[in-house]
Amino acid sequence: MKILIVEDEKALQQSMMQYLNTAGFQCESADNFRRALRLLDEADYDAIVLDIMLPDGDGLSLLKILKEDKKQEGVIVVSARGDVDDRILGLKLGADDYLSKPFHMAELAARLHAIIRRKQFQGMNELKAGEICVNLERREVYVNDQPVNLTRKEYDLLLFFLANKNRVISRQALAEHLCQDHQEWFDDFDLVYAHVKNLKKKLADRGCTDCIKSVYGIGYRFIC
């Protein structure tokens, strides 16, 4: 999976590259509008991470150009302006998703996976990890071919883990993923414990080996 990262902050760009590369993506990066255009001309990408505030041009105009050229890349807009209006504008212009800074690398990886899955839906409607199999179309989960009845939140959580296999995921990242816009819950790790506990229990009930390991003091790691 090829990703283009358009971000002018060097440090942020590098850590995104580092995280995504080890998470199974192939990343290239551009730190300005012109370079991004050139790279997009030269190669095809599965997805683009686009900062809308660039030194030599608005990321949103890059988005417009992409959409006019009928490019198939999925686009995640990244912005320091977490306004609702900005988000709506980005989505209106054809972005597939929106992330406001600061975001977790695990969240970015999960969103990229989701976008790429949506873009190339055919042949990708099943996710497998060890004994776990997820039918993305029907939103059903099987362990050793036995269905597991998950709530929507537990299902989301499982997909999040699957997108960040073998990575250490912090509790904050999980909390924010679970609560989305409800930031008053972000500090509440009990909420994360409760949801993860339920998920683990339901998987274990179907005889799944314990693949969600807690990492002391930090969070969890999905092992497979």
Interacting residue ranges for other proteins, rule: CB under 8 A: 9, 11-12, 15-16, 18-19, 22, 80-84, 100-106, 151-153, 167-168, 170, 172-173, 176, 178-179, 181-188, 190-191, 193-195, 197-198, 215-218
Q: How far is the CB of 87 from other proteins (least distance, A)?
A: 10
| Nearer to other proteins among residue 48 and residue 169 (C-beta) | 169
Q: Report d(CA 10, CA 189) in Å as an integer.
A: 32
Helices (H), the chain: 10-22, 33-42, 59-68, 84-92, 105-119, 152-163, 171-179, 189-205
Q: Report d(CA 41, CA 179) in Å as an integer.
A: 38
Q: How far is the CB of 103 from other proteins (least distance, A)?
A: 7
| Nearer to other proteins among residue 37 and residue 168 (C-beta) | 168
Q: How far is the CB of 78 from other proteins (least distance, A)?
A: 8
Say how many C-beta atoms besides its own lie within 10 A of residue 189's C-beta: 16
Q: How far is the CB of 9 from other proteins (least distance, A)?
A: 6
Interstrand relation of 57-58 and 26-30 (parallel, antiparallel or unpaired): unpaired
| Nearer to other proteins among residue 70 and residue 92 (C-beta) | 92
Say how many C-beta atoms besides its own lie within 10 A of residue 99's C-beta: 18
Find out whether the peptide bond into 147 is cis, omega within 30 degrees of 0: no
| Nearer to other proteins among residue 56 and residue 187 (C-beta) | 187
Q: How far is the CB of 157 from other proteins (least distance, A)?
A: 11
Interstrand relation of 57-58 and 53-54 (parallel, antiparallel or unpaired): antiparallel
| Nearer to other proteins among residue 125 and residue 183 (C-beta) | 183
